[in-house]
Amino acid sequence: MRITMDENATVNTAGEVLALIRDGRARTRAELVRLTGLSRATVSQRVESLLGGGFVYEAGEAPSTGGRPPQTLAFNSDAGVVLVADLDVTHARLAVADLSGSLLAESTGEIDIADGPDRVISWMLEGFEALLDRVSRGSASVRGIGIGVPGPVEYSAGRAVSPPIMPGWDGVAIPALVQKVHPVPVLVDNDVNIMALGEYWTNWRDRVDDLLFVKVGTGIGSGLVMHGRIYRGQNGAAGDMGHIRVPSAGSVVCRCGNVGCLEAVASGAALATELRAMGVDAQGVRDVAREATGGNTQAIRMIREAGRQIGEVLAGAVNLLNPGAIVLGGDVALAAAELVAGVREAVYERSTVLATNDLRVQTSELNERAGVTGAAVMIIESILLPVAVDEAIRTS
Amino acid sequence: MRITMDENATVNTAGEVLALIRDGRARTRAELVRLTGLSRATVSQRVESLLGGGFVYEAGEAPSTGGRPPQTLAFNSDAGVVLVADLDVTHARLAVADLSGSLLAESTGEIDIADGPDRVISWMLEGFEALLDRVSRGSASVRGIGIGVPGPVEYSAGRAVSPPIMPGWDGVAIPALVQKVHPVPVLVDNDVNIMALGEYWTNWRDRVDDLLFVKVGTGIGSGLVMHGRIYRGQNGAAGDMGHIRVPSAGSVVCRCGNVGCLEAVASGAALATELRAMGVDAQGVRDVAREATGGNTQAIRMIREAGRQIGEVLAGAVNLLNPGAIVLGGDVALAAAELVAGVREAVYERSTVLATNDLRVQTSELNERAGVTGAAVMIIESILLPVAVDEAIRTS
């Protein structure tokens, strides 16, 4: 139950306070109070914390409006950076961001997650060095690191848990490997969770409390934002949509050993297999996307049908969760608008009237940057809000 | 994301602090600190709030263990009561509870929710008067009222929203009707939500953060407890499982106008129809339960099959949400252990290995008292914790 809070209260964070100062939108505590809707006491507390961490500094007195002139606040662009990585099965994106979450530099690369943690993490760390060079920062400026990986994660330990497509990673605590080089806070989460977080934070948090992000790539997974935060479940396995049965899928056998799983019929891997059966040279999800964007009508038809099947499963999720938005990302979703059209078709056919009343279904606006953006949000908020929240919040 | 809190932190509330004092398990602030794991400052704050509200009083000095002797705390049994109601389609349960949530007296009655708010609320208010008489309390001792109704509710306003089986209630703000007689805080929620809350609070909160309560009665609905609190979704419609498609249900037409809905094949209403087709005089869910408990093997077979179909839908919910527990309640679930057996069969067949690793599936321990217990928890916590929680909690 949620008694003591307004259901529609705006999410306001230390990161947001910092962004307002950095962007020059707020120059004093009074302006922060007005723009955030936070109490004067809370704003003062956040500002003290930002001053204490060296993230902002007092830049002199503003003109008085009567009484003691207020101190202006300025963003300390030398306060440091965070490093972020969105590691997928076959490719990865790295970035360096400032402490308000703006990406300063990025790189991408082909990887094979099955090479195991030692090789992949080494590659990532080298990539981080190159990025730091590009923005002329040293290791000492790194305040934290955020990483997404394509499998379930025990979040508190940054440990991959029985990841089906990450051989060699099971039980590996990723932060320890990273901290050998960068002795700073390191947070690791499932890649779809960070994509959901990035999308929510950037485009949705003023409008909805609850969002379901679905990534349609080699596999199919989802990230659940509820009450404005990532929902992980008992074993960090929440959002694993790929093995839900699709009523219309019949008895197609899935790699998990079950039949009729969504992933067996509508994932990028399944679509590549279908395309190969038609004589198209499609090895993986990138080839499916290439065919679709190149105008292969068979590929587009398949993607629309995959959208309908994903929609059949999402219709159940909409009835159960009544989210404010469904956002579709991943290579397949980004390649063809037909995917979201198929999803809408099935969701609006099968979900209840009340649950679809305000529902928005659309593709990711951050596209391939959703992951690194979310990883930056994750680690920055952790750095800026280190204070333990009172236990009271667990009771609402 | 959830950065600043321990995922496994114990839920501790003003209600729990009060219960520890009432039960004599904690007699001093130091004992409360030890038993709850809360900080000394937080315990002091909670105790001050309870003292201020007259819920506890200082009963004299305890023996000193060196230094100033601590004050003992005692429960003020005269501090008042709450009234609670679990209104279902055809029957209702009313209770009066003390402020630690113990039920002092109860009554039940047959109602027809379709009689509309005026008649049903009048009946409820008369029942409340009779209960207050039984425990020799006057109207002045009532500190709050909690009510569950069988349809979606806009929680903040206590307003029923497009309830499909509550004609005449749409848009009605229930608190205003109740407050004409009792000018106290009144909270209204969906009946399955309060059942989920009662079950979670009483039996699960020390073990899991996330629980799915499924009520199999005339219809089928569910209540989602996530991070220890009720999850409602964008329109208060979360948990509406009854119209999710069951892969094995074929093309049975549902009253919602769709085909293959869970409710059309596995609800108490559907089972009663099936029994009537076999010549059994079964008008409603109570008759289905009567046949099953009376040993009618056809009824028991049907309930097991209904369990499998509910399990097919729950298998998807388990993959998506990875809850720690599924608890089954409602007349059909309570009538025959075969329902939970059928659910387990389908969930363990269809859900992923990781998501079912620690999953417990069982029937309600509170049975028909889950609703009134949850309604009491809902209103008591609201009375005891009126302080606004800092906005920081929304950022985690």
3-state secondary structure chain A: CCCCCCCCCCCCCHHHHHHHHHCCCCCCHHHHHHHHCCCHHHHHHHHHHHHHCCCEEEEEECCCCCCCCCEEEEECCCCCEEEEEEECCCEEEEEEEECCCCEEEEEEEECCHHHCHHHHHHHHHHHHHHHHHHCCCCHHHEEEEEEEECCCEECCCCEECCCCCCCCCCCCEHHHHHHCCCCCCEEEEEHHHHHHHHHHHHHHCCCCCCEEEEEECCCEEEEEEECCEEECCCCCCCCCHHHCECHHHCCCECCCCCECEHHHHHCHHHHHHHHHHCCCCCCCHHHHHHHHHCCCHHHHHHHHHHHHHHHHHHHHHHHHHCCCEEEEECHHHHHCCHHHHHHHHHHHHHCCHHHHCCCEEEECCCHHHHHHHHHHHHHHHHHHCCCCCCHHHHHC
Instruction: Please determine, for residue A5, whether its predicted confidence score (pLDDT) is greater than 50.
Output: no
Residues of A in contact with B393 (CB under 8 A): 5, 389-390, 393, 396
pLDDT digits (tens, 9 = 90+) for A307-328: 999 999 999 999 999 999 999 9
Residues counted in chain A: 396
pLDDT for A384:
76
**CATH class of the domain comprising B208-368:** alpha beta
**Cβ–Cβ pairs < 8 A, chains A and B:** 267
Confidence tier at A13 by pLDDT (50, 70, 90): low
Q: What is the CATH T-level fold of the domain B14-78, as seen in this structure? A: Arc Repressor Mutant, subunit A (1.10.10)
Residue B225 has a pLDDT of 94
Q: Nearest 10 degrees: CA dihedral of A377, A383, A385, A391?
A: 100
Q: Percent of chain A scored above 90 by pLDDT?
A: 62
pLDDT value of position B194: 96
Residue of B13, B233, B236 with shortest CB distance to A395 = B13
CA atoms within 13 A on the CB side of B304: 9
Selected for mutation to probe chain A from B2, B3, B13 (highest A CB count within 10 Å) is: B3
Output the pLDDT for position A195. Answer: 97
State how far the Cα of B225 lies from the Cα of B227, in Å rounded to an integer: 7
What is the predicted pLDDT for the residue at A389?
35
Contact check, Cβ <8 Å, B7/A321? no
Backbone angles phi, psi at A43, to 5 degrees: -60, -45
Is the C-alpha dihedral spanning A388, A391, A396, B3 positive or negative? positive
Mean pLDDT of A351-375: 94
Among chain B residues, the shortest Cα distance to A255 is held by B352
Q: Cβ contacts (< 8 Å) between B209 and chain A: which residues?
A: 234
Inspect the interface and report whether the beta carbons of A241 and B9 lie closer than 8 Å.
Answer: no
Nearest to B235 among A224, A357, A396 (CB): A357
Question: Which CATH number is A81-194+371-384 given?
Answer: 3.30.420.40
Q: Which residues of chain B have pLDDT under 70?
A: 1-14, 385-396
Dist. CA B96–CA A386, nearest whole Å:
43
Give contacts of B349 with chain A, Cβ < 8 Å.
258
* pLDDT per residue as tens digits for the range A152-191: 888 888 998 878 788 899 999 999 999 999 999 999 999 9
**What pLDDT does B256 receive?**
86
What confidence tens digit (pLDDT) does each residue in A70-109 have?
889 998 877 899 999 999 988 999 999 998 888 999 999 9
Which of A208, A258, A317 faces B234 most closely, judged by CB atoms? A208
Selecting from A11, A246, A321 the residue whose C-beta is nearest the C-beta of B395 gives A11
Tens-digit pLDDT profile for residues B52-75: 888 899 988 877 777 778 889 998
3-state secondary structure of B45: helix
Distance from CA of B260 to the nearest CA of A (A): 10
Nearest CA to CA, how far is A110 from chain B (Å)?
A: 28
Domain A207-368: which CATH number of 3.30.420.40, 3.30.830.10, 1.10.150.120, 3.30.465.10? 3.30.420.40
Contact between B284 and B218 (Cβ < 8 Å): yes
Fold agreement (B14-78, B208-368): no
B257 contacts on A by Cβ (under 8 Å):
none
Give dist(CA A327, CA A313) in Å, integer. Answer: 14
A172 phi and psi angles, rounded to 5 deg: -75, 125
Count CB atoms within 10 A of the CB of residue A377: 24
Higher pLDDT, A68 or A396: A68
For residue A343, how far is the Cα from the chain centroid? 21
Q: Which two tokens stand for residue A193?
A: 């969770």
Residue B21 CA: distances (Å) to CA of A98, B14, B46, B100, B378: 50, 11, 12, 9, 20
pLDDT of B35: 85
List pLDDT tens digits, range A265-274: 999 999 999 9
| CA closest to B16 among chain A residues | A395
- Inter-chain residue contact B319 with A226, CB threshold 8 Å: no
Instruction: State the average pLDDT over residues A105-124.
Output: 96
- A-chain residues within 8 Å CB-CB of B361? none
Q: Which amino acid is at B227?
A: H
Longest dimension (CA), chain B: 78
Strands lying side by side in the sheet with B186-190 = B103-110, B91-98, B81-87, B142-149, B186-190
Phi then psi dihedrals of residue B269, to 5 deg: -65, -40
- What average pLDDT is seen over chain A? 88
A14 falls in which pLDDT band (50, 70, 90)?
low
Phi, psi of B48 (to 5 degrees): -60, -40
- Name which residue leads in pLDDT, A252 or B8: A252
Which chain A residues are closer than 8 Å to B390 by Cβ? 42, 389-390, 393
**Among the partner residues B315, B322, B386, nearest to A233 by beta-carbon distance:** B322
Q: Is the pLDDT of residue A339 over 90?
A: yes
Work out the average pLDDT over A30-50.
84
Domain segments of chain B as ranges: 14-78, 81-194+371-384, 208-368
Chain B residues with CB-CB distance to A9 below 8 A: 391, 394
Place of tokens 């914790």: B385
Residue linked to tokens 């051989």: A167
B4 vs A349, A377, A388: nearest CB: A388
Question: Residue A381 is nearest to which of B228, B240, B395, comparing CB atoms?
Answer: B395
List phi, psi (to 5°) of B94. Answer: -115, 155
* Residue of chain B nearest A7, judged by CA positions: B156
pLDDT score for A385:
65
> What is the rounded distance in angstroms from the CA atom of residue A332 to the CA atom of residue A303?
8
